[in-house]
Chain A
Amino acid sequence: MKFSFPKIALIGNPNSGKSTLFNQLTGLRQKTGNFPGVTVEKKTGTLRFPDSAAAGTPQETLTLTEATLIDLPGIYSIYPKSRDEQVAIDILANPQHPDHPDAVVVVADASNLQRNLLLFTQIADLGFPTVLALNMLDVADSMNLKVNAVQLAMQLNVPVVRINARTGEGIDRLREAIKGVSADGKSKPTYFLDPAESQADLIGEVKENYQLDNSYLALQYLCQHDSFTFLNVNQKADLEKRIIDHNFDKTDFLAHETITRYARLRPLVAKSVTIIGESDQPAWTRRLDKIMLHPVWGYVAFLMVLLLIFQAVFAWAQYPMDWLDQGTANAIQWTKNTLPSGVLNDLLTDGLMAGIGGVIIFIPQIAFLFGLVGLLEESGYMARVMVIMDKLMRKFGLNGRSVVPLISGVACAVPAIMTTRSINNSYERLLTIFVTPLMSCSARLPIYTILIALVVPDETVLGFLNLQGLVLLGLYMLGLVGALASAWLFSLFIPRLEPSYFILEMPTYKWPRWSHLGITMYDSVRSFVVEAGKIIVAISIVLWVLASYGPGDEMARAETEVINEMTNAAPQTQQAAVASARLESSYAGHFGKFIEPAIRPLGYDWKIGIALITSFAAREVFVGTMSTIYSIGGDAGEDAVTIRQRLQKERNPRTGGPMYTPAVSFSLLMFYVFAMMCMSTLAVVYRETHGWKWPLIQLAYTMFLAYVSAWATFQLLS
């Protein structure tokens, strides 16, 4: 007999401390992935049971040593309101699902017991062996609520464990309790609410026809068959017909179900919870909200938080980024010199290693940003930001919840788009995904820096503002304005199918747990390196091939020509000229020449054309390509000053003046502000929207926007 460890699902309301508990139970023994078939992030981990038996012969005793813990998205009920939440019921209702649990741990916020128990009664009615983990007893305490866990366990007839997910208190007892129920197997529940009470015939029919022995599961077949992937078209049609035959009104039934469940919970909660005095949110939460939601101070506070984020992402992250950059350059140099030179060496160093370097350089920024966003979410402040931003966001067809992806977009659109999953309105989610790439991500920063340094004087204006910094800020603002305006524009065209909801629970303020934060940072970095890394590395290799080879012997001919012409030049100048000539006759050079007519109105030549094409895959390639084109050094370990000096010297063959005039540079800046030049983002949008339609519209739209604004800028300034 093949023995597999039991699967335990962790379920709870949002803000009940579920993720913290998950981290406590599994530590670092966790994996992140996707639930099969959908792109909702799935976290699983190994749960070790405490040693109860002495070492013996494990084959015979079969004592459970561990279980697989699956973290399900936070939900208020098993009737999902967003795509994220859909996963939970998919797993619970389908015994064939690979993640279908053997037992369930329901985490409940003790300070809001009645509402948290609603979900518990639904899970229990589905027949799962259940453990109730009572969390946040300290918050309940501060709200003058005393919860009697023993009484509650007797009332609910399940093990109830008092825990503190933040300090780890009670976790061992919870492990014991889970171990106790995980071998139980499903049983016929004593229903809190048996749908057969009022719909005996209909429920009976469904149970019989679909071989179900649980009435509540039968009800789920009726209410949610549309979204159940494990039912086929005929089954769905059959259920639909039964609903009509029996005149079953789903909305009415569900409203009735919720009210009845609460009515039955009320006396039970009253017996287990003693209220001493007036219960209210902790005083410091109320006091902090007076500031955070204040018409003036609320925005001031938010602005300070934004400034802190920018400071961290742009100033503090610079140090580790410099080390990484230097480290990559050194590693490339060392490999180049150590390995025998040749094509393989070049591919490894200039192609692969430079590509990997281009990915890891962004790790500090991603880690800082998502660490800070995680901090804001953990502390409860993010919910306040959503509240104060909702009205503004709504004007553009978005939702207060869109703020998080937009802020995250400043580091990288890939993880930012993944955070849109918490927006439960699919329309607002789509709009947010659509405009997030317009926020200036960190990959645009090197382009901005070089071009600004080229044409904007390093002067102080108004006594204290640096002109270059001001222009940089302007570009970021332009991205934000572009994002909001585009959202508004598209909200006029995309039909709104469902009404917009805001309804959001405001959690109490909490001190973040640093270990938890570390895990969040690690997760976001890992997903960035895997998601964006794959594409950037692949493109770097392709780019290297295109720039290193040309049709026929063109490259060799160009090289000989240059050498013959420049016999008297210094070897360094000659080398540079050779590299430049080789590039011009390579495949990449041909591509650049091919698109030159299209980009001439923007003021660009074929060299910029190559950079445009290569950075189409990922913007960060731009600077590297420019340094290759202008043959500085020869590897991607770029040095901004040398590139700048080289760019300044570049002449426009047609005018004889400098190539990088303010008109050309600003035109390029405009182009990069708006153009969605990032394969990883396209891939993520494809995955999140389930098709090529939206990523392609998005690409066409942003390219159009970029082209037109770059053209207008060039024409105005020249």
Chain B
Amino acid sequence: MLATRTLSDLKMGERAIIKSFSDRAMSLKLLEMGCLPGCEVRLDATAPFGDPICVRVGGCYCLSLRRNEAASIEVE
């Protein structure tokens, strides 16, 4: 059994597709910023000490978010 993977598990440069959100309140904000289920994301950079991370969303812009925020985004 594979545990649910989240955005925070991605390796540098790895791509994934957003599947769902586990935090309802945060999901509203993320949806508005264009993180939609089915949208491709790629881990672009991490800040020093590994947090926050910078993610390319849908090939068009770069979003920075904390690891715990990224962990609320399930990917596949």
Residues of chain A whose beta carbon lies under 8 Å from any beta carbon of chain B: 76-77, 79, 81, 111-112, 114-115, 118, 143, 251, 254-255, 258-259, 262, 278-281, 286, 289-290, 293-296, 298-299, 383, 386-388, 390-391, 394, 400, 499, 501-506
Q: Are B34 and A115 in contact, with the CB atoms below 8 A?
A: yes
5 contacting pairs across A/B (C-beta < 8 A): A114-B34, A258-B32, A262-B34, A295-B49, A390-B47
Partner of B69, one of A81, A112, A501: A501
Our pick among B30, B34, B47 for the contact of A387 (Cβ within 8 Å) is B47
User: Which residues on the B side are within 8 Å of A504 (C-beta)?
Assistant: 52, 63-65
CB-CB contacts below 8 Å: B43-76 with A? 44-49, 51-52, 54, 56, 58-66, 69
- CB atoms of B29 and A506 under 8 A apart: no
If the complex has contacts A251-B28, A259-B37, A293-B45, are A502 and B69 also in contact, measured as CB distance less than 8 A? yes
Q: How far is the CB of B46 from chain A (nearest CB, A)?
A: 8
CB-based closest 3 A-B pairs: A115-B34, A295-B48, A506-B62
Interface residue tally for chain B (C-beta within 8 Å): 33
Contact A299 B48 (CB under 8 A): yes
**CA gap between A280 and B22 in the complex, in Å:** 28
By the criterion CB–CB under 8 Å, are B32 and A387 in contact?
no
Cβ of B25 < 8 Å from any Cβ of A?
A: yes
Which of A281, A296, A386 has its CB near the most chain B CB atoms (within 10 A)? A281
User: With A81-B29, A502-B69, A503-B69 as given contacts, are A388 and B48 in contact (CB-CB < 8 Å)?
Assistant: yes
Tell me the bound Cα distance from A143 to B44 in angstroms. 16
Which positions in B face A, CB cutoff 8 Å? 24-34, 36-37, 44-49, 51-52, 54, 56, 58-66, 69
On whether the beta carbons of B49 and A115 are closer than 8 Å, the reply is no
Q: Given known contacts A118-B34, A251-B28, A501-B69, what 11 new A-B pairs fall within 8 Å (CB)?
A: A259-B37, A293-B48, A298-B48, A383-B64, A390-B47, A391-B52, A499-B26, A503-B69, A506-B54, A506-B63, A506-B64
| B-side contacts of A298, CB under 8 Å | 47-48
How many Å lie between the Cα of A565 and that of B37 in the bound state? 90
Assembled-state Cα–Cα distance A299/B30 (Å): 28
A281 touches B51 (CB 8 A): no
CB-CB under 8 A for A77 and B32, given A112-B60, A293-B48, A391-B51: yes
Residue of B nearest to A292 (CB): B45
A79 & B52 in contact (Cβ 8 Å cutoff): no
Chain B residues within an 8 Å CB radius of A394 = 66
Cβ contact within 8 Å between B27 and A255: yes
Name B47's contact: one of A115, A254, A388 (CB within 8 Å). Answer: A388
Q: Flag if A293 contacts B63 (CB, 8 Å).
A: no
Once A295-B48, A388-B48 are accepted as A-B contacts, the answer to whether A255 and B64 lie under 8 Å apart by CB is no
Residue of A nearest to B63 (CB): A505
> Is there an interface contact between A503 and B24, defined as CB atoms closer than 8 Å?
no
Q: What's the least CB distance linking B71 to chain A, in Å? A: 13
Q: How far is the CB of B31 from chain A (nearest CB, A)?
A: 4
What residues of A have a CB within 8 angstroms of the CB of B28 in the complex? 79, 251, 254-255, 258
Q: Residue A258 contacts which of B31, B45, B59, B63 (CB distance < 8 angstroms)?
A: B31
Chain B residues within an 8 Å CB radius of A499: 25-26
B residues in contact with A383, CB < 8 Å: 64
The docked-state distance in angstroms from the alpha carbon of A76 to that of B51 is: 24
B25 to chain A minimum Cβ distance, whole angstroms, is: 7
Residue of B nearest to A113 (CB): B60
A281 to B45, CA, bound (A): 13
Q: Which residue in chain B gives the minimum CB-CB distance to A503?
A: B65
- In Å, the complex CA distance between A290 and B56 comes to 14
A383 to B63 alpha-carbon distance, docked (Å): 10
Whether B29 contacts A294 by the Cβ 8 Å rule is: no
The distance in angstroms between the C-alpha atoms of A262 and B60, with both chains bound, is 15
For residue A254, which residues in chain B have a CB less than 8 angstroms away from its CB? 28
Question: In the complex, what's the smallest C-beta–C-beta distance from A711 to chain B, in angstroms?
Answer: 38
Question: Of A251, A255, A258, A294, which one neighbours B48 at CB under 8 angstroms?
Answer: A294
Closest to A118 in B: B32
Q: Are A281 and B62 in contact (CB under 8 A)?
A: yes
Which residues in B have their C-beta under 8 angstroms from that of A390?
Answer: 47, 51-52, 66
User: Contact: B63 with A251, CB < 8 Å?
Assistant: no
Q: A503 near B27 (CB under 8 angstroms)?
A: no
CB-defined contacts of B31 to chain A, threshold 8 Å: 255, 258-259, 262
By a CB distance below 8 angstroms, the chain B residues around A259 are 31, 36-37
Also in contact, A505 and B69, with CB within 8 A (given A77-B32, A251-B25, A255-B28)? no
Name the distance in Å between A306's Cβ and chain B's nearest Cβ: 16
In the complex, A240→B66 CA distance in Å? 34
Cβ contacts under 8 Å, B51 to chain A: 390-391
Which chain B positions have C-beta within 8 A of A115? 33-34, 60-61
**CA A291 to CA B60, docked complex, whole Å:** 21
Please tell me if the beta carbons of A76 and B33 are within 8 angstroms of each other in the complex: yes
Query: Using Cβ atoms and an 8 Å threshold, which residues of chain B touch A289?
Result: 44-45, 54
